[in-house]
Amino acid sequence: MATINTKTYSQDKVEANKVTLAGPSHTVSDKQTLSLARVAPKPSGTNPGVARSEGKFTRSAVTNVTTGAKADIILAAASSVPVGAAVATLDDVIADFRSWVASADFVNHVKNGKILVS
């Protein structure tokens, strides 16, 4: 179980290297999920590989109030971290990413497709 922004998500589905959590409003016809996935590094020659991960929120949204038509809103964060990368560098990138996602620029980017930065 995970609490995110006051919503409690419970384990719904487990697959190899992926888990899907269902939110409190999740039903058969209305999605409210968080999926967490990972891909282990695959060394090749002298390259020790890259660890990959993704977190993805999916939420059903009504797109036409007259017909009740729905479509999915998806917000995802993916990472690709080379094996051996300095932890301090990774921490710095995570801090920058958190700051951007918490900014008005991110909201404007998602809601309005703006790629300008204030």
Indicate whether 35 pLDDT > 80. yes
Tokens of 4: 């995110």
23 and 57 share one domain: yes
CA–CA separation, 88 and 94 (whole Å): 10
CA distances from 39 to 15, 57, 86, 97 (A): 13, 18, 19, 21
Domain count, the chain: 2
Indicate whether 116 pLDDT > 80. no
62 and 92 share one domain: no
| Percentage of residues of the chain with pLDDT beyond 90 | 92
16 and 71 share one domain: yes
Average pLDDT over every residue of 59-81: 97
Q: Give the list of residues 6+ apart from residue 44 with CB closer than 8 angstroms, or none.
A: none
pLDDT score for 117: 64
CA–CA separation, 36 and 16 (whole Å): 11
Could you report the per-residue pLDDT of 89-102, keeping only the tens digit for each? 999 999 999 999 99
CA–CA separation, 16 and 39 (whole Å): 10
57 and 1 share one domain: yes
29 and 8 share one domain: yes
Give the domain range for residue 29. 1-41+49-83
